């Protein structure tokens, strides 16, 4: 399906912003947000009133086998349960932003049957397998599993569109998933592991060195360099689903906020596969992970909306940015023009 950014709508909103009762460009990034939304949505009246936060979750064989995280893989299950209960950071921030939260299990190992999620939260079982295999020893998943995870992401975007959602904020959950994110990014960028691997959820210097060695071992075994094949070889089910979701969201004219390094790595693969979807993506946060800067530079995403050193993941930073989008739309809809202000001043 065709993907195209509507420059005419973007130009129309820019013209309206320039006519408002303020110095041209004085609202800076709030103005650029409105212009971006207009181009993505194909409308001279951009909207951000119906937003959804999507969190894709999966486990990783490399985390269990190579201890690349200070936390055990079982934490993935516990966090997904916490998301569903509405007690996690992303659940709180989604509520504060007036956004729906959908959690999609594409590969969590050992997840028990969950009770009914809290109000405003949806849980979707789209499990491909109970986690990937150890990517340092061989392909993380089969081609068939990659296709299934990609389809799960596309279907999440389709659900959002069917529900009238106009903005998506994407995030992830999976203990150890900065390792596959670094591996995929290194493969696609042609960079050594040591340049992209960081502490993740709190590794010390020795832990980071070990993690870099694990990623480099995966790179050294060779493998495909095309985007979807690289995701299958080195990625995780949630990374693949994220890329699939971005792809389908752009086809449906839904703008996407990207949260952090893991989502950024998925975006790198998605854009390498379909460059035309790049204008539909916006970096919400600048992660503390060194690989994120490399990914953002490669995608030419520019400065993130928030550069606060956030590193939680979960779409927490993307969710926190949603009110900014609403403010940008309100300016377009509710501000008066300079012409109107001058006419009022001249009235007897």
Question: Can you give the residue ranges of every domain in the chain?
Answer: 7-45+332-346, 51-322
Tokens of 146: 């990659």
Percent of the chain with pLDDT over 90: 92
pLDDT-derived band at 113 (thresholds 50, 70, 90) equals: confident
> What is the C-alpha to C-alpha distance for residues 218 and 41, in angstroms, rounded to an integer?
40
- Mean pLDDT, residues 240-264 taken together: 98
Q: By C-alpha distance, which of 123, 94, 118 is closest to 108?
A: 123
> What is the C-alpha to C-alpha distance for residues 53 and 197, in angstroms, rounded to an integer?
27
CATH 3.40.50.300 assigned to 51-322? no
pLDDT-derived band at 162 (thresholds 50, 70, 90) equals: very high
Does the pLDDT of residue 340 top 90, yes or no? no
Judge whether 12 and 44 are in contact, CB under 8 Å: yes
CA dihedral sign of residues 215, 89, 243, 152: positive
Strands, sheet with 281-283, edge to edge from the N-terminal-most edge strand: 121-125, 100-107, 51-58, 167-173, 256-258, 281-283
Does the pLDDT of residue 339 top 90, yes or no? no
More confident residue, 63 or 311: 63
> What is the C-alpha to C-alpha distance for residues 58 and 231, in angstroms, rounded to an integer?
14
Does the pLDDT of residue 182 top 80, yes or no? yes
How do 51-58 and 167-173 pair as beta strands? Answer: parallel
Q: What is the mean pLDDT of the chain?
A: 96
Does the pLDDT of residue 245 top 90, yes or no? yes
Active-site residues: which are they?
A: 314
How far is the first Cα of the chain from the last one, in angstroms, to the nearest whole number? 57
pLDDT-derived band at 194 (thresholds 50, 70, 90) equals: very high
Cα-based distances in Å from 2 to 35, 232, 241, 248: 21, 25, 20, 10
Dihedral angle, C-alpha 198, 83, 228, 235, nearest 10 °: 40
CA dihedral sign of residues 61, 65, 71, 75: positive
Q: Which residues pair with 168 in a beta bridge?
A: 52, 256
């Amino acid at each position: 399906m065709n993907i195209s950014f509507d420059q005419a709508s973007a130009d129309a909103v820019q013209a309206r912003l320039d006519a408002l009762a303020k110095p041209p460009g004085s609202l800076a990034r709030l103005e650029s947000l409105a212009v971006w939304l207009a181009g993505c949505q194909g409308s001279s009246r951009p909207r951000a009133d119906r937003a959804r936060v999507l969190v894709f979750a999966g486990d990783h064989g490399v985390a269990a086998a190579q201890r690349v995280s200070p936390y055990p893989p079982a934490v993935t299950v516990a966090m997904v349960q916490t998301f569903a209960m509405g007690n996690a950071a992303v659940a709180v921030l989604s509520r504060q932003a007036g956004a729906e939260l959908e959690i999609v299990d594409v590969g969590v190992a050992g997840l028990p049957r969950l009770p009914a999620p809290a109000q405003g939260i949806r849980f979707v079982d789209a499990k491909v397998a109970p986690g990937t295999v150890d990517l340092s020893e061989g392909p993380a998943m089969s081609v068939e599993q990659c296709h299934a995870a990609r389809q799960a992401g596309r279907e999440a975007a389709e659900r959002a569109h069917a529900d009238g959602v106009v903005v998506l904020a994407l995030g992830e959950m999976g203990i150890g998933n900065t390792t596959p994110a670094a591996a995929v990014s290194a493969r696609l960028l042609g960079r050594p592991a040591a340049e992209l691997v960081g502490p993740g959820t709190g590794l010390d210097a020795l832990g980071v060195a070990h993690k870099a060695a694990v990623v480099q071992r995966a790179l050294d075994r060779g493998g495909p360099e095309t985007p979807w094949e690289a995701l299958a070889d080195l990625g995780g089910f949630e990374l693949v689903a994220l890329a699939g979701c971005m792809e389908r969201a752009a086809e449906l004219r839904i703008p996407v906020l990207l949260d952090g390094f893991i989502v950024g790595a998925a975006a790198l693969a998605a854009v390498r596969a379909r460059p035309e979807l790049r204008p539909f993506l916006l970096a919400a946060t600048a992660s503390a992970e060194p690989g994120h800067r490399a990914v953002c530079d490669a995608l030419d995403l520019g400065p993130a909306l928030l550069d606060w050193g956030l590193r939680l993941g979960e779409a927490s930073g993307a969710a926190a940015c949603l009110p900014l989008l609403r403010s940008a739309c309100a300016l377009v809809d509710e501000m008066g023009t300079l012409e109107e202000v001058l006419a009022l001043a001249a009235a007897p």
